[in-house]
Structure 1
């Protein structure tokens, strides 16, 4: 076929630029048309001024302005290694360079001096490939010397993410005090505050004579609010370094007074308040965990599941050591507690006072201090450094009004004032130094229209009748001084405003729901499982997973649970990124 005639044809020879550069390099090697020699020590390298000026702002300024070098045939480049200069000139004419550990630093320094930006970044990329927890701190220091932002960012990222490994390295012990303080105060540090304390102690012990006086300044970098009280008051407080510092002992004493006051108000100490309100590090994230309950209406489950929010998938944690019917579940200091319950097997069942704990850090279950009294079908919540256990059924299988409290500062249980009116399956929540108990049912399974309030600091109860309250087997959760009561043999969700002492109607659930669980994650309610009454008034188990946004008063369906589940625990635990062992 004949081609259509065209008026204009654009031809692009993609080999021309590459071929031209190679030809110029050949001319340079044969010393043809070269008009300048770059000199370093006894080495003289022939080049073309136009090639150098085209490749670098440094040489462009030298040869295209009224500098004396413009008229010179030999340019002496002081303090540049002749071997490195040869490598750079080869790179200019070929675009190829071999970077290794023996030449990367002088090559990078010379590339910066002669303004070869892409070569400088290539050296940075090579160094980033060498990054490890053992050298990332020195790489940060090197990046600052070389003014290399890309290397600094990557080295700092590794130092933040690999805190456990970095803190054990020799490099950390060699940091100066200002460098260590900058490192420990980072919000992006993947560290628990206990680790931060142990790291600063190890740094001081590396050179105790000259570093002991730094304990006060370093201790301020530890965010005391997020340290387990037992660790703080039994381990840190007794450390000789801490005891040697008046400021450190005063800070710990301020924390002790704050916790003993059972108050959310800060002590009138500006220095302490500033340290106490320091935010949790960004790398500490809240994780949703679902544990125990009745699985697929068959048997009591030993499973613990962790929800991965980014992938909306469920990961299995270590299984509970035993099956527990109607145990209670609570989180305190980023530790999951499974308290009491009824143990069952083929021969007999027994009400237990046992307490099991799980930390996401170790993914291992441990036995903790048991309750004073065995019980099941009870309610549990945490407030400050306390766990409160309310009511339930005792070892005689009767409804009990007893209350006990676990003090995590002293690792012990103590009896508290009993509930005015013993009920089963109420909705409970704690805020502003008070525990609120809504509704529930009496021993005859009649709904109780009561709000019972416990004042934590005074160890006193009060109660008031309220016709709005009519919930059984409904969970409750607190967001912004409002207590949300979700379902309870009804579709209704209401919010109790503790400040105005009134109820607010919220968006309804899809079905009448009970025996479900709720937790708060990123200021939203997450409701899991439970049982519901369908349109034919038949009770069915649920694998539903839904979230509620108080700002928009809307419900959103999430991915479902791995199986149907009710009478389980749903908790929010805080963990440091990349430290959870899934084994």
Structure 2
């Protein structure tokens, strides 16, 4: 019989059946050549199976270690139940993990270099992570150098640090571990929580830990506390009062506050930590239009750490006089100031621009603001600074640009006027930065206004000019805000551009340009970044109201797109607040 062709055969199930047969041999005591002893249990095994499954056993049985010739291997740091589960896993590839055994199985898997079992344990940890266990799992991952598990767990620690501070694992941190944690960007309601957590940690073992208070206090970002809390709760705390070094740190913090904004930028003391943490925040969307271009006469809010469409909740209806209007809004300390921004189209609405309200977030109540002297003003800029809302530029009932600058005193519910705007403009945008009001661009009889930047100092009641923008922008599609002492301008022309004012060389610089045609968006601060929310995308024929949130990271000049992170809106306003200020 002549056969000329070869054919390759593979029995895929053979390795599994062979290993299953070896497990039968193990249970029946056939061909046993090694015993693993853990606790009071002596487990029969086969050297070749152990060595093939674990580099730990391979090294033990093939090197010149004494265990190479022993018939019993005693493993002292693994209990009998865990060892039995590990051996069963080696022979069958199956194991049952539970909250009671996962840590011991994980540590045994790390010791025996069972990589796949480590991955199973890591997956179990991640699936069950919460504030009560994330810090312990993080320390475990660091101890055994499991990078992926450490990174994932650290993120949970940072995101839920307010709750982690209440856990026993936090109190058991070493001084070095606590220092490392305080230097990270943990997310908390306020720095007050971090200080209170530090005091708990000190008191947990006062005799050995009190000497570390000064070093650890320097890791608290004291400059971001309120003056009231710093004096009453920190400076007057018994442990702080006992330490001259700690009192000196508080004194330097208060000295920093007393500096003018320009000097604050220059001064850096090694005793103080200046960078803000990404404190827990709540974001609000005010008014605007939906996908069908219908006005939405309400306020939505989201207080989740990670913005997502499902997390937005109804906050309040707008007062009836604000319905179906183009609005402008700004965040106060714990309230939202909302004003009619453009003349009303519908006949039933008063043409006066004195249609202004404050929404109190704690009480969830509305307050009607009394009219200012100038009852007709539209398309103005607005900014809030140290208890005053500034109304800047715009035009009156006769379409004439307004040079008067009015401000509303939130404490006394009164209006007054400050120095007039040097270059009169309407449709300007404004922001507070370093205790000054910055006014950008606008429209006027002279196109020069479109690039002008004007600065108002309340302490002197004077306006000065800042270097103009480097390009002419369409002021209809522009927003600005300040973040950590810098002013950022976002505009679409038609791609999205981001500018910021460089305090060092006193010039505007372009940080980023991206091919993103988006108009009628809003911007607000969000966890030390800037969130660009919603807007219209597309060309003039095919436009879409989007529900995306783009997170702009100033330090790296990068965008992070969250595709379905908000309810679709355009022509809306957005503001954000620290949770500690409104809860």
Measured against aligned partners, the alpha-carbon deviations of 1:361-392 in whole angstroms (never above 9, x if no partner) come to x8x84568978957664531246x56541357
Give the aligned partner of residue 419 of structure 2.
418
1:322 corresponds, among 305, 311, 319, to: 319
Displacement, 1:460?
A: 1.3
Task: Please tell me whether Structure 1 or Structure 2 has the larger radius of gyration of its CA atoms.
Answer: 1
Give the aligned partner of residue 291 of structure 1.
286
C-alpha contact 2:404 2:420 (8 A) present in aligned 1: yes
Displacement, 1:427?
A: 1.1
1:454 counterpart = 2:452: no
Displacement, 1:242?
A: 5.6
- Give structure 2 stretches of 5+ with no counterpart: 558-562
Displacement, 1:255?
A: 3.7
Measured in 2, the distance between the counterparts of 1:497 and 1:150 equals 39
Give the aligned partner of residue 490 of structure 1.
none
Displacement, 1:55?
A: 2.5
1:401 counterpart = 2:404: yes
C-alpha contact 2:394 2:427 (8 A) present in aligned 1: no
C-alpha contact 2:299 2:318 (8 A) present in aligned 1: no
Measured in 2, the distance between the counterparts of 1:298 and 1:100 equals 52
C-alpha contact 2:418 2:461 (8 A) present in aligned 1: yes
Give runs of aligned pairs for residues 223-242 of structure 1, distance below 5 A. 223-224=221-222, 226-227=224-225
Measured in 1, the distance between the counterparts of 2:296 and 2:124 equals 55
Give the aligned partner of residue 177 of structure 2.
179
Measured against aligned partners, the alpha-carbon deviations of 1:164-194 in whole angstroms (never above 9, x if no partner) come to 3223334434444433333232225465434
Secondary structure, aligned partner of 2:185: coil
Higher deviation after alignment, 495-504 or 194-203? 495-504
For normalisation by structure 1, the TM-score amounts to: 0.66
Measured in 2, the distance between the counterparts of 1:496 and 1:208 equals 48
Secondary structure, aligned partner of 1:134: coil
Number of equivalences: 533
Displacement, 1:18?
A: 1.6
Measured in 2, the distance between the counterparts of 1:230 and 1:369 equals 30
Secondary structure, aligned partner of 1:435: strand
Measured in 2, the distance between the counterparts of 1:102 and 1:494 equals 52
Give runs of aligned pairs for residues 501-540 of structure 1, distance below 5 A. 519=523, 528=535
Give runs of aligned pairs for residues 83-482 of structure 1, distance below 5 A. 83-144=81-142, 149=147, 151-187=149-185, 189=187, 192-204=190-202, 214-224=212-222, 226-227=224-225, 245-258=246-259, 261-263=260-262, 265-266=264-265, 268-271=267-270, 275-276=273-274, 278=275, 280-281=277-278, 290-292=285-287, 301-304=297-300, 315=312, 317-323=314-320, 324=322, 328-331=328-331, 337-339=336-338, 351=354, 354-358=357-361, 365=364, 373=372, 377=378, 378-382=380-384, 387-391=388-392, 401-404=404-407, 417-419=418-420, 425-430=426-431, 433=436, 435-436=438-439, 438=441, 454-461=456-463, 477=480
Secondary structure, aligned partner of 1:181: helix
Measured in 1, the distance between the counterparts of 2:365 and 2:232 equals 20
Give the aligned partner of residue 560 of structure 2.
none
Displacement, 1:60?
A: 2.4
- Give structure 1 stretches of 5+ with no counterpart: 488-492, 536-540, 553-557
> What's the C-alpha RMSD, in Å, of the aligned pairs?
6.1
Displacement, 1:257?
A: 0.8
Measured in 1, the distance between the counterparts of 2:294 and 2:75 equals 83
